[in-house]
Amino acid sequence: MTIQLISENKVAGGLHQQFEFDSVALKSTTRFAIFLPPQAIQGQSVPVIYWLSGLTCSDENFMQKAGAFKTAAKLGLCIVAPDTSPRGENIPDDTEKSYDFGVGAGFYVNATQKPWATHYHMYDFIVDELPNVIENHFNVTAQRALAGHSMGGHGAMMIGLRNPDCYSSISAFSPICQPSQCPWGIKAFSGYLGADPKEWRAYDSTELIKAIDSNQFVPMLVDQGDKDNFLAEQLTPEPFIDVATQRDYPLTFRMQEGYDHSYYFISSFIDDHLHFHHQHF
C-alpha cells in the first residue's frame, strides 16, 4: 500500500507528519497524523498509542491542542491520530448536516445500514487496516495502546475491550461509557446499525465489560471533568464504573474537579496518560 506525505514539521526533537492513502475498509481516501519521537528517527523501534478523537474532529485536533509531544519524545512513544469518519465527495453525510451523525461522527463501528454500510467501517479501519499501515511503513513495534476523547473515548474503550490481546493499555478522557443508552449513541447506532438494540451491544463498553474474561483484563485509565456539560446526559460513567468495580476490573477512574469537555482538560492530564501507557508497554 502506498501512503503519500502531506505535511511534515519538526517538533520536540521528533517529527509530526500527515499522510493520506486509499483505505480498503473505508473505500475512500483517508488521512492520519503521526508523531515520531527522536528515538524512532534514530533507528529504534518504538511502541504506538492510537488516539481516537471525538465528534466533529479530524486527525488535527489532538496533534495541535493536546501538548503531548515533549513527553512522548522523552518516553519514546509514537502517537497516531486517524480521522473520525470517512470523508470525500462520494461519502454520504447526514441530510440535516448535524454534528453528531455522518461525516465527522463515525462512532468507530462497522455500519450495516444503507447508505452508511459501504464506507463507514471505522471499526475495521482502526483494529486492522491502520495498524498494518503504521507497522509496515514506520519504525515501530507491534506494541499498541488506545486512547481517546468523548466519542473517541468510547471507541478506545470499546475496541480495547473487544480486542484485549492487541493492546497493552487503554485510556480515555470524557468517554461515552454507555452509548446504547444515551442520545448521541442511540442516534448513531440506530442509523448505522439498525433499530434492534441487540445489535448495539457489541459496541457498548458497559455491556462489553460485563462479558470479558477476567484473564483478558487490560489496564484502563479514565479522566472525567465534573464541570463537563455532557456528563449527566451523554457520558454516564456510573454504570460502567459499577460493573468494573463488581468485576474487580483494573480501572482507574478520576473525577477531576472544575474541568470541562475541552482540550484544556485533555492538555492538563495528557502527560499522566502517556506515562500510564508507557508503564504498561
Residues with catalytic roles: 150, 228, 261
Q: Helix and strand tally (H, E) in the chain?
A: 10, 9
DSSP string spanning 231-251? IIIII--HHHHHHHHHHT--E
Cell of 48: 504506538
Cα separation of 39 and 41, whole Å? Answer: 5
Give me the amino acid identity at 135.
Answer: E
The CA-atom distances, in angstroms, between 151 and each of 119, 188, 215, 220 are 18, 11, 27, 16
Question: Among 117, 115, 60, which Cα is nearest to 83's?
Answer: 60
Give bridge partners of residue 48 from the DSSP assignment.
Answer: 78, 144
Cell of 147: 486512547
Q: What is the DSSP letter of 274?
A: H
